[in-house]
Chain A
């Protein structure tokens, strides 16, 4: 945890409306938020080393439709202190297992109430009240 105790969250999604809504919501919930719309930019931000949590869509602009996995692996390999949550519209058991194997803490299915997303982030970061 860095800075003035505000957890830093990196949101990666190629849908601008999604990053907009998430940024506004999370900031109001007390998170420091940064956004990226593709994997390369996201990695650059991650490599600064101050991100506490990666919230990435599984499918980014790319051909595999599973670019999010690469980000999760990058975090696991380079930034062990950082945690990862994947969002996906294709929620299946297989994706959950694969994400877990690559180091993601959680997979959330789209659509999802943002309140529940915040709860999940807090639980993953170990900062929830309970």
Chain B
């Protein structure tokens, strides 16, 4: 439809009100008309351009446009950058009938237009990336400019054409802009409360939700009449749903537009509106197509990159238990060992058969549930590949449906996660082993009998075991954690430990120390080792306390035993060697006495010699007894030196003592003394050398009698302590004599120690030897009330023999 020619007056008004700069040049290129907008655009004072030459207005480059217009009369458009970031478009055309007139130049600021397009493109692109094609198509910035162009076009033609832009905001408020021109800008706007047409508003918003792009509101004019009234719209041109938060845009004619237009005018508006509808539709289609293409390209390149990168298989299959594959990517070979062609329907392999039999049913159930719930399917399961290997795969898929919601197919992607599963399993196993090891370690640590303390480089406690807690009398680990070793309260022991740790920290070498404690007679062996584990804990020290009291005692006892055995061998050897010459002397003495004993003058000599030989013989016997190795309790005589007449076996100790005591009554009586026996040992018995024990009792009893004054009493008493294990039988022999000298007490059991004239000093040594051989102990002491006490302890082998 051809628009009607405007009148000169209409043209003048249009020029004056146009937002574009307009200039009309006469034949000599002088400005005859220049509107306000042109002055603003080019930075001149209003009216200052009138009468000036074109050369003053435009950059030199654009004179070529003028020249071209002269050569080829018609419409030419050029753009130039004004230098301040704004782009000006210049449209140049000749006016005035047959070309003899001047030229019209229209200067249009297209910066915003450009920017809007760029912005719009940018938004579309972002939307495309973020939401995919369906959302991307919503973004179409083109419509707004078309709308603007149409309204501007109409306004240019009809000076009294007044467009109304109404922005229906999502919050339900209607914002009106009366200024004709740019859509989306609200100049001198006013806000209308739409509470009165809430229903219509909701209907519109509903339309928007349904993604209806444009609405022919005039078709529903009746329904929207209150809304149009609120917007002062008397004739609706368009209603467009915008994608952004601006909401719903209405464009119409307001009451200021003359109601009495000519038929021609009415047709023009209708034609423009019609044209507008088509243009909008085209623009939208173009945008849709463009965006679709862009999104598709994006998706395709993305997918191609993804598929080539990932060691997985993209697939499309039917939603059936056979997993009928319609399409598989070539990753299938790496994943399953089968090519895509083999897996796809028509191939010889069914994907369902690859799924591990144990997982198949559960997997199908899981897929059906996911599809029914309309959610993505994501599962890990096992497949068996072409070479019978088992693989863990991760399958992520979703259902593709048609418009009616019917499931067309399943599309998804399957990745090999075997390594991850293995790594997870290995990690789990490692974790389990580590936990087990930690538990075991803690148990072992606590179960260790020796106290163990782990300290840091400041000698502060990091860890310690139960035995160590007991050693420092602590209740809980909490009490002692971080406490310095010396402050643990163990006294000298921990001080020695701390000193040892300090030296180990200095030398980084293992150290040890023997610590005897006079306080309780215990012996400790301390070992400190640097914790050599690499890493942050390299400066820790492990301190182990070992109670070696028993070992030390054992060693002392062994040393004594060894000493006694060596001495025994020596003594026995000497004794034997002495016995031969002793026999030679005694035999010669016997022969001498036999021949010459009658002669009186020899008597005294013979007596002296005889007495000394006897004494020596006796001493040799005692020495031999002292040096004799302990008899074997088994009764064996392998040592070859046991004295004849040994009675090894289990003996009732009280019976044995009573017999000796009874035998001693007669010699006691001769001294005017009495022997009292108080048997409290019951039937306690011990594995013993009866002869040896008898000599022990005899010896101690003789000793007691020898130190008793006439009228004195020697009390022999026995008892059993059953609370010890094994039970202990004790014998005490008390006399009323003067007792021992204090200084003699430590030496009484030493061989040859004797204060008694003529005594060999071997008696008590032999007593002690025999008692020790029986695993017992013997002590001599002074009783508080005076007199001496000998006390023998023996372990009981049977309490009721």
Contact = CB atoms under 8 A, between A and B. Distances in A.
Contacts of A111: 579, 582-583, 585-587, 613, 617
Contacts of A15: 580-581, 584
Contacts of B613: 111
Contacts of A91: 644
B343 to A, nearest CB: 98
A69 to B, nearest CB: 14
A94 B595 CA distance: 37
Which of A17, A89, A96 lies at the interface centre, i.e. has the most chain B CB atoms within 10 A of its CB? A89
Nearest to A17: B584
Interface stretch (A41-49, A73-81, A112-120): A112-120
Contact of B583 (A20, A90, A112): A112
A87 B583 CA distance: 10
Interface stretch (B234-242, B311-319, B453-461, B634-642): B634-642
Contact of A93 (B577, B582, B591, B643): B643
Contacts of A93: 637, 642-646
B595 A24 contact: yes
B134 interface: no
A123 interface: no
B642 A110 contact: no
Nearest to B584: A17
A1 interface: no
A115 to B, nearest CB: 7
B750 to A, nearest CB: 27
Interface in A33-56: none
Contacts of A25: 587, 590-591, 594
Which of A87, A89, A111 lies at the interface centre, i.e. has the most chain B CB atoms within 10 A of its CB? A111
A94 B632 CA distance: 14
Contacts of B584: 15, 17-18, 21
A92 interface: yes
Contact of A110 (B580, B643, B646): B580
A112 B580 CA distance: 10
A35 to B, nearest CB: 13
Nearest to B640: A94
Contacts of A22: 587, 591
Contacts of B585: 111
Contact of B590 (A17, A90, A94, A113): A113
Contacts of A112: 583, 586
B758 to A, nearest CB: 19
A20 B640 CA distance: 31
Given A24-B595, A111-B613, A92 B640 contact: yes
Chief secondary structure at chain B's binding surface = helix
Contacts of B581: 15
Nearest to B572: A90
Interface residues of A, number: 23
B111 interface: no
B590 A114 contact: yes
B614 to A, nearest CB: 9
A111 B595 CA distance: 20
Contacts of A114: 586-587, 590-591, 594
Contacts of B617: 111
A74 B645 CA distance: 29
B436 interface: no
Nearest to A98: B640
A22 B576 CA distance: 20
Interface in A93-113: 93-94, 96, 110-113
B46 interface: no
B91 to A, nearest CB: 146
B588 A110 contact: no
B591 A21 contact: yes
Chief secondary structure at chain A's binding surface = helix
B644 A21 contact: no
Interface residues on B, range: 20 to 34
A87 B613 CA distance: 18
Interface in A57-73: none
A87 B646 CA distance: 21
Contact of B644 (A96, A110, A115): A96
Contact of B587 (A18, A92, A96): A18
A1 to B, nearest CB: 24
Contacts of B594: 24-25, 28, 114
B289 to A, nearest CB: 125
A115 B643 contact: no
Given A17-B584, A24-B595, A110 B579 contact: yes
Contacts of A89: 576-577, 579-580, 583
Contacts of A94: 637, 640-642
A120 to B, nearest CB: 14
Contacts of B595: 24, 28
A91 B637 CA distance: 14
A64 B58 CA distance: 147
A20 B590 CA distance: 12
Which of B591, B613, B642, B643 lies at the interface centre, i.e. has the most chain A CB atoms within 10 A of its CB? B591
B640 A21 contact: no
B423 to A, nearest CB: 78
Given A25-B594, A89-B579, A17 B642 contact: no
B642 A21 contact: no
A115 B579 contact: no
Nearest to A111: B583
A3 B223 CA distance: 176
Contacts of A17: 584, 587-588
Nearest to B613: A111
B598 to A, nearest CB: 13
B583 A110 contact: yes
Interface string B592-603: 001100000000
B548 to A, nearest CB: 39
A21 B589 CA distance: 8
Contacts of B577: 89
A92 B641 contact: yes
B644 A92 contact: yes
B480 to A, nearest CB: 62
A56 to B, nearest CB: 14
B375 to A, nearest CB: 100
B590 A21 contact: yes
A85 to B, nearest CB: 14
Interface string B555-587: 000000000000000000000110111111111
Nearest to B576: A89
A93 B590 CA distance: 27
B636 to A, nearest CB: 11
B647 to A, nearest CB: 12
Nearest to A90: B576
B582 A24 contact: no
A91 B585 CA distance: 19
A130 B641 CA distance: 34
B692 to A, nearest CB: 14
By Cβ-Cβ distance, the 6 closest A-B pairs, closest first, are A114-B590, A21-B587, A89-B579, A111-B583, A110-B583, A93-B644
19 contacts: A15-B584, A17-B584, A17-B587, A18-B580, A18-B584, A18-B587, A21-B591, A90-B641, A92-B642, A93-B643, A93-B646, A94-B640, A94-B642, A96-B644, A111-B613, A112-B586, A113-B590, A114-B590, A114-B594
Given A24-B591, A94-B640, A111-B579, 8 more contacts: A15-B581, A18-B584, A20-B591, A28-B594, A87-B583, A110-B580, A111-B585, A111-B587
Interface of A: 15, 17-18, 20-22, 24-25, 28, 87, 89-94, 96, 110-115
